[in-house]
């Protein structure tokens, strides 16, 4: 398997518009920056504990209007956490907009994940330790892409270890024949009873099925082509997580910034999951 990861040594978040890196990203590779500056102050280090989580919350999230959810600590630390997450969001946005100025980014909330991966309790379907592509049960995205920027902020240099699987085209070729047929009746029903926030399109249905089928195939999980990559403290990595087959094996203290973007703002729309699936199936899916 051609390497699924591209290491980039730049030392500033504002980088050059670079077609090679964009092509790598849009073909489903992970681009990895190990030298970007992100200083964590002594006060911020106090935030690196699962004890700051509110009861029953797994992550802290910072909305685009800077409302913090999921954290419980004194006002001074809440402020520090807001600032830490905002700083990451600003840097992540600088990175992506300088790399790919065409992208029409819609910014989602920023998330901070303080629980040790090995201790997380998750349903089978929600278990991110299994190789998957991202697709959401409740939030259909109608072909909009999911671009994610991650940073490991572990204070003890414990890596966040990921597996990266085979290219999306192989995933699609392996599993499309197992996907249940789309039912527009069922999609309307799910929307009516508010399980989905909008109508699940045929594209969303197929992506969610691929996500589930991959996770439930234990033979595939152990035998699919994959590499294991440790992302050390300070590392930043970026991928289209609706395209890159990925899973997390271990680690603690990561921040993540998600963006959605329309297919039309991609540089190579033909390498998107939408185009790959439409091509294999022989019709445009949306
Ligand atoms: C995921 O996006 O599937 C998990 C990422 C992580 O927690 O490192
Ligand atoms: Fe994921």
User: Which domains does the chain show, CATH number per domain?
Assistant: 5-281 (2.60.120)
Spell out the per-residue pLDDT of the chain, length 286, in tens: 668 999 999 999 999 999 999 999 999 999 999 999 999 999 999 999 999 999 999 999 999 999 999 999 999 999 999 999 999 999 999 999 999 999 999 999 999 999 999 987 788 888 999 999 999 999 999 889 999 999 999 999 999 999 999 999 999 999 999 999 999 999 999 999 999 999 999 999 999 999 999 999 999 999 999 999 999 999 999 999 999 999 999 999 999 999 999 999 999 999 999 999 999 999 988 7
- For the CA of 162, the nearest atom of ligand 1: 8
Provide the token pair at 120: 């997380």
CA 247–ligand 1 middle distance (angstroms): 6
Burial 155-186 (b: 16+ CB within 10 A, else e): eeebbbbbbbbbbbbebbebbbeebeebeeee
Say what the pTM is. 0.97
CA 174–ligand 2 middle distance (angstroms): 19
- For Cα atoms 59, 60, 63, give the angle at the middle one, nearest 5 degrees: 125
> What is the 8-class DSSP label of residue 177?
G
As beta bridge partners, residue 69 has: 61
Residue closest by Cα to atom 7 of ligand 1: 248
Q: Which residue among 241, 252, 255 has the greatest number of ligand 1 atoms within 8 angstroms of its CB, and so is best to mutate?
A: 241
278 Cβ neighbours under 8 A, 6+ residues apart: 284, 285
- Helices within the chain (DSSP H only): 19-26, 42-45, 75-99, 168-175, 184-192, 202-216, 218-223, 273-281
Residue 169 φ/ψ region, left for φ over 0, alpha for ψ in the -120 to 50 degree band, beta for the rest:
alpha
3-state SS, residue 29 = coil
What pLDDT was estimated at residue 1? 65
State the DSSP H helix or E strand holding residue 250, giving kind and residue range, or none if neither. Answer: strand 246-250
Pocket of ligand 1 (CB under 6 A): 113, 128, 160, 241, 246, 248, 254
The answer to whether the CB of 15 falls within 8 A of the CB of 95 is yes
Residue closest by Cα to atom 3 of ligand 1: 128
- For the CA of 150, the nearest atom of ligand 1: 8
Contacts of 67-74 with C-beta under 8 Å, sequence gap 24+, read 73/47
Residue closest by Cα to atom 1 of ligand 1: 128
What pLDDT was estimated at residue 2? 66
CA distance 45 to 251: 16
- For the CA of 128, the nearest atom of ligand 1: 3
Q: What is the DSSP string of 4-21?
A: SEEEE---SSS----HHH
CA distance 190 to 119: 32
Among 39, 31, 26, smallest CA distance to 8 is for 31
């Amino acid at each position: 398997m051609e390497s699924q990861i591209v290491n980039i040594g730049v030392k500033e978040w504002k980088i050059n518009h670079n077609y090679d890196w964009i092509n790598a990203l849009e073909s489903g590779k992970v681009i990895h920056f190990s030298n970007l500056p992100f200083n964590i102050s002594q006060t911020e280090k106090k935030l690196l504990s699962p004890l700051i989580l509110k009861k029953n919350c797994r992550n802290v999230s910072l909305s685009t209007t800077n409302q913090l959810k999921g954290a419980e600590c004194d006002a001074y630390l809440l402020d520090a956490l807001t600032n830490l997450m905002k700083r990451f969001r600003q840097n992540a946005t600088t990175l992506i907009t300088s790399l790919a100025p065409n992208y029409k980014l819609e910014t989602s909330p920023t998330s901070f994940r303080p629980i040790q991966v090995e201790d997380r309790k998750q349903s089978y379907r929600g278990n991110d330790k299994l190789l998957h592509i991202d697709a959401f049960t409740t939030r259909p995205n109608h072909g909009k892409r999911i671009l994610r920027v991650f940073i490991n902020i572990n204070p003890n240099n414990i890596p966040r270890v990921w597996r990266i699987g085979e290219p999306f085209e192989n995933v699609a070729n392996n599993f499309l024949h197992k996907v249940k047929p789309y039912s527009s009746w069922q999609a309307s029903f799910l929307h009516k009873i508010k399980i989905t926030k909008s109508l699940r399109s045929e594209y969303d249905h197929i992506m969610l099925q691929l996500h589930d089928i991959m996770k439930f195939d234990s033979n595939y999980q152990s035998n699919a082509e994959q590499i294991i990559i440790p992302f050390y403290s300070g590392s930043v990595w970026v991928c289209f997580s609706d395209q890159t087959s990925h899973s997390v094996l271990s680690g603690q203290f990561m921040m993540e910034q998600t963006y959605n973007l329309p297919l039309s703002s991609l540089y190579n729309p033909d390498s998107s999951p939408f185009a790959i699936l439409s091509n294999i199936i022989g019709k445009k899916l949306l």
